[in-house]
Chains A and B, each alone.
Chain A
Amino acid sequence: MMSLLDYFRITKTSSASLAKERLQILVAHERSSRHQPSYLPQLQKELLEVIKKYVNVDQDAISFNFEQDENQETLELNIVLPDHQAKNF
């Protein structure tokens, strides 16, 4: 239940500013993925599988970045390797 104090508190974040913040993040993300080729998610998944065969990394350790300018398209792949790189087979 909302207390009387809450009711009079003026400093609480408005729902509109929350909406704006959420939308700005979402729209920026959706815009950046708009120009990516449609095969990218699949490529990302398969590359990750291959890398996992050799190095013990989790999903978060890999980031993909696709960039496009007039002359070329660049696919950048960043892997943060764990301290002990090689898997023990």
Chain B
Amino acid sequence: MARIIVVTSGKGGVGKTTTSAAIAMGLAKRGHKTAVIDFDVGLRNLDLIMGCERRVVYDFINVINGEASLNQALIRDKHCDQLYILPASQTRDKDALSQEGVGKVLEELSKDFQYVVCDSPAGIERGAHLAMYYADDAFVVTNPEVSSVRDSDRMLGLLASKSRRAERNEEPIKEYLLLSRYSPERVKIGDMLSVNDVQDILSLHLLGVIPESKSVLTASNSGVPVILDEKSDAGQAYADIVARYLGEERPHRFIDEKKGLFGKLFGGK
């Protein structure tokens, strides 16, 4: 049985697709057979972030409609043979996603995969609803910014009420906070909400902080998930997140300012 993870946020542009690509790659690199699904019908982008946009033949909706088999639509990642991508349809009407159809595809994937990562679209429409409906775990991607925090809280409400687990009165979806685009320098001068502030407001288990990083853009420019850039701070942050999710203890990094040479020499700890 696969564990189904939804990557959600409510607000757009906070890093859902970047996160989906990174954690799916991270899980696969650690030997877990993983599928990552783009639920953003009409605005697919996961293929681009994963660097497989030219290999898309069939998509999620083709599979739901029975026009292609799951194996025909799944794209094997070129960096890791344990990772498969199921792209969203770029052309179809978003109503083509049906709850039953999504359920069938996830059930079939569950037989063969250990993790299925569902990259949710922004908003609270059909695609976002279906991305979270069957989830076991939710990665709530939040920026330290008022509208993102508020929208994340809204998503927590939906996760607790509009999911299959909620409807069946099962154990609730496990929710984790991923705080992205974090800038310790701006937190220090009081310009940005701190990790503790966001945790005080949302009361969520912190899986990791991803610093604002140039490497995220360079990774997406080249279509390589940022976690493969092992030298980058964002890549390391995602590697930590995957490790923590798999139950390893890792101290939190990237919460404090980077010290310059002067700080390193004279800054004490």
Minimal beta-carbon separation of A29 from chain B (angstroms): 11
Task: Categorize the interface residue count of chain A.
Answer: 10 to 19
* A22–B146 CB distance below 8 A: yes
* A20–B157 CB distance below 8 A: no
Q: Which of A9-17, A45-53, A60-68, A72-80 contacts B (4 or more CB under 8 A)?
A: A9-17
- Known contacts A24-B200, A24-B201, A26-B150: A19-B193 contact under CB 8 Å: yes
* A16–B157 CB distance below 8 A: no
* A31 to B145 CA separation, bound complex (whole angstroms): 19
CB<8 Å pairs between A and B, sample of 30: A14-B189, A14-B190, A14-B191, A15-B191, A16-B190, A16-B191, A16-B192, A16-B193, A16-B194, A17-B190, A19-B145, A19-B146, A19-B193, A19-B197, A20-B193, A20-B197, A20-B200, A20-B201, A22-B146, A23-B146, A23-B149, A23-B150, A24-B201, A26-B150, A27-B149, A27-B150, A27-B153, A30-B150, A30-B154, A31-B153
Minimal beta-carbon separation of A14 from chain B (angstroms): 3
Most chain B beta-carbon neighbours within 10 Å: one of A22, A30, A34: A34
Interface residues of B (CB under 8 A from A): 145-146, 149-150, 153-154, 157, 161, 187, 189-194, 197, 200-202
CB closest residue in chain B, given A27: B153
* A75 to B153 CA separation, bound complex (whole angstroms): 25
* A17 to B198 CA separation, bound complex (whole angstroms): 11
| Residues of the B chain whose Cβ atoms lie less than 8 Å from the Cβ of A30 | 150, 153-154, 157
| Residues of the B chain whose Cβ atoms lie less than 8 Å from the Cβ of A15 | 190-191
* A20 to B149 CA separation, bound complex (whole angstroms): 10
CB 8 Å contact bits of A32-60 with B (1 = contact, 0 = none) = 00100000000000000000000000000
Most chain B beta-carbon neighbours within 10 Å: one of A14, A19, A24, A30: A19
| Residues of the B chain whose Cβ atoms lie less than 8 Å from the Cβ of A22 | 146
Minimal beta-carbon separation of A26 from chain B (angstroms): 6
* A23 to B143 CA separation, bound complex (whole angstroms): 13
